[in-house]
Amino acid sequence: MTTSQKSNQIREAVGYFGDADAMQLAIDDLLSSGFDRAELSLLAAEETVDEKLGHKYNKVSEIEDDPTVPRTRYVSPDFIDDAKTSVIGGLVFLGTLGAAGAVVASGGALAAAIAGAALGAGTWGMLGEFLAKFIGQNHASYIEEQLKHGGLLLWVRCLNPEREKSAMEILSRHSGRDVHVHSLPASV
């Protein structure tokens, strides 16, 4: 392969995992070994993949080397937990502020303002919990739909042969299946 051909290629390690915990351990290991979060990608939601490919796929092993398969960036479980907390906290704050403000604006006493704030916080807090539960369920559905197709795909972009070797060792160490390196057109 000539130098110009190499520059038109992206090399990446790929493997799939039988459970989310094993994949998360591999990702944690990759990140602590110097890989950047931006070098990691996961398979997009099933509906998105089916729409882009124009057909349903049966197994992740059928599409792991397809450069046209839509992907998504890795989002850490901590970020998902933070998002849930932010939704709940933000809505509780809005409910408290709104209810207290309404009571005070109407000329209400301090005790009524506090009671109104508590009621508002509870109401908006319940909405926040519902939205947080939706975020969690959406993530769980994403994982479940991929597992029914054979596993969770993880791609790791590798800038040189040493990184390829390291990525493959890490993916394999954490029970990655069909771990290998492939080349993709640089336009992907």
Contact present, 12 and 38 (Cβ < 8 Å)? no
**More confident call, 23 vs 117:** 23
pLDDT digits (tens, 9 = 90+) for 52-109: 888 888 898 999 999 999 988 877 555 444 444 554 455 444 444 444 444 444 444 5
Mean pLDDT comparison of 70-74, 101-105, 147-151, 153-157, highest-scoring range:
153-157
Tell me what pLDDT residue 151 has.
93
Domain ranges of the chain: 8-75+142-185, 79-138
**Whole-prediction pTM value?**
0.65
Top-level class of domain 8-75+142-185: alpha beta
CA dihedral 92, 98, 104, 106 (to 10 degrees): -140
Helix axes 20-32, 161-173, angle to 10 degrees: 140
